[in-house]
Amino acid sequence: MYQKMMETMSKNVESMFDTAKYEDAMKPMAQMVELNKKMLETLATKQADLVKELFEGSVAQAKELTATSDLSSALASQKNYLEGVQEKLVSAARDTQDVLTVARDEATAQVQTAVEGASKFQ
């Protein structure tokens, strides 16, 4: 009886430290971390590109305004510039929303897979 109890306990301890089982258990978490990393990298790249575009556009606009001599052409130039900025910001917002939507859908699929996998153990 003592021998059987020790064997059972030994098996339980071995299964607790089984790296394959641990890796399987942590796989959904690792996938979520990777998904978040990819999403943040994409968003950071898009934001950096947007800031660069806006900065370059503002420098070009400043140069154009300094070369303008009359008020009406300066106002028209400023209007065109601001309409372009508005388009860029709206486009950036849509791109960001698309990235977040894709990430949400992927996360939802991963959670569903993890829940289905966990329900097999019940």
b/e per residue 18-54 (b: at least 16 CB within 10 A)? eeeeeeeeeebeebeeebeeebeebeeebeeebeeee
Residue 103 vs residue 15, higher pLDDT: 103
Mean pLDDT to the nearest integer, 90-114: 93
pLDDT digits (tens, 9 = 90+) for 2-28: 677 667 766 766 666 666 766 776 777
Residue 121 vs residue 64, higher pLDDT: 64
Stretch (H or E) spanning 87: helix 71-119
- What does each C-alpha distance from 109 to 21, 29, 40, 46 come to in angstroms? 22, 13, 19, 25
Domain ranges of the chain: 27-119
Please state, in angstroms and rounded to a whole number, the distance separating the CA atoms of residues 25 and 13: 17
Mean of the per-residue pLDDT values of the chain = 87
Query: In this predicted structure, which of 16-20, 27-31, 61-65 has the lowest mean pLDDT?
Result: 16-20
Sign of CA pseudo-dihedral 7, 12, 16, 22: positive
Query: In this predicted structure, which of 29-33, 87-91, 116-120 has the lowest mean pLDDT?
Result: 116-120
pLDDT digits (tens, 9 = 90+) for 83-97: 999 999 999 999 999
pTM of the model: 0.72
Mean pLDDT to the nearest integer, 23-34: 80
